Amino acid sequence: MKKRVFGTTKDGKEVFLYTLENKNGMKAEVTDFGAILVNLFVPDKNGTLQDVTLGYDQVADYEANGSFFGATIAPNANRIAGASFVIDGVTYQLDANDGPNNLHSHFDIGGHKRVWEAEPGEGSIRFTVKLPDGEMGFPGNKVCSITYTLTDDNALRLDYHASTDKKTILNLTNHAYFNLAGHDKGLITDHVLMLHAGYYTPVVAGAIPTGEIAPVAGTPLDFTKEKRIGDEIEADFEQLKLVSGYDHNYVIDNWNGELQLAARISEKTTGRTMEVYTDLPGIQFYAGNCIAETTGKGKTVYGKRDGFCLETDYFPNAVNEAAFPSPVYGPEKDYTSVTIYKFI
């Protein structure tokens, strides 16, 4: 495994970039800053490698990273209504960083802004971070880890593990933005997507779920059959207007806690297809509607809908919705989950 200096954080910590490579030449580069996926070089139909994830060339930009490019989100991904929740009668207050709500734990001191401990292995690397009791408002002394493994069948596997000494929310995800044509190729609206999800969680303003689980059938949110992302993204449909396009949690069909195929997405010009597998109940499809213009890798200027996310997680605001699968874990049960991005 190759290791090189990636830069120095503003508080003087040296951080590194680690390269995983398989027998086919596919490469994943990850950093101990935020356990971030920085680069992912994937062959096209002709065997040509291109980087298919949006991101930056230097750690200083990841210290800002308003769009969470490549970030490991910990301890909780997605939104919590009112930036508060109750566990066993105790109310916990979080940072209201998305209007009145909380998004991705904390913008400044969340897991994606920490230096994680790196443990390189054989074809894999594990990153671990400790999050103290009460920090960011979350109870429990938490130890969170993610292991990246690149396999010879062109799959990037993400194994998550977290433990706590007190009941808390544990709901980690990776916030990679993909563009299967290449990170610098602009709009992703020509990508063709299929989701193994016949239901979704409708939202109100602020992208907070109503608590309902609704069918996608007959709506522009239906991706149960292959459909070009751009076909209906501007449709006159209230759910799209509320979040400026697709940014919704989909309920994975027949979820039982086992690893299963959740999504398949293709880009015709390169012939790249990516499958997403998860053992979690939800997948957030975000079409990059709100990517603020920023200069990224190779001086590429990224903007609206230049990348998409397929974030595996518990449903948004699940801690406050009794009908949703619960993201609450305690000392008696560790959090574990697996996400696989497989290229075929």
DSSP category for residue 325 = P
| Domains of the chain from N-terminus onward | 2-343 (2.70.98.10)
Q: pLDDT tens-digit profile of 45-54?
A: 999 999 999 9
pLDDT score, position 96: 98
The question of whether 311 is a catalytic residue gets the answer: yes
Contact at 8 Å (CB) between 192 and 265? yes
Q: pLDDT tens-digit profile of 125-138?
A: 999 999 999 999 99
Contact at 8 Å (CB) between 259 and 34? no
**How many Å apart are CA 158 and CA 32, to the nearest integer?**
15
pLDDT score, position 232: 98
Mean pLDDT (the chain, rounded): 98
pTM of the predicted protein model: 0.98
Percentage of residues of the chain with pLDDT beyond 70 = 100
Residue in 137, 68, 177 with CA at minimum distance from that of residue 319: 137
* Residue located via tokens 């210290």: 63
Catalytic residue among 29, 232, 267, 311: 311
Distances (CA, A) of 226 to 221, 316, 322: 12, 25, 32
pLDDT score, position 319: 98
SS (H, E, C) 12-79: CCEEEEEEEECCCCCEEEEECECCEEEEEEEECCCCCEEECECCCCCHHHHHHCCCCCCCEECCECCE
3-state secondary structure of 211: coil
Catalytic residue among 104, 106, 112, 175: 175
Confidence of residue 269 (pLDDT cuts 50, 70, 90): very high
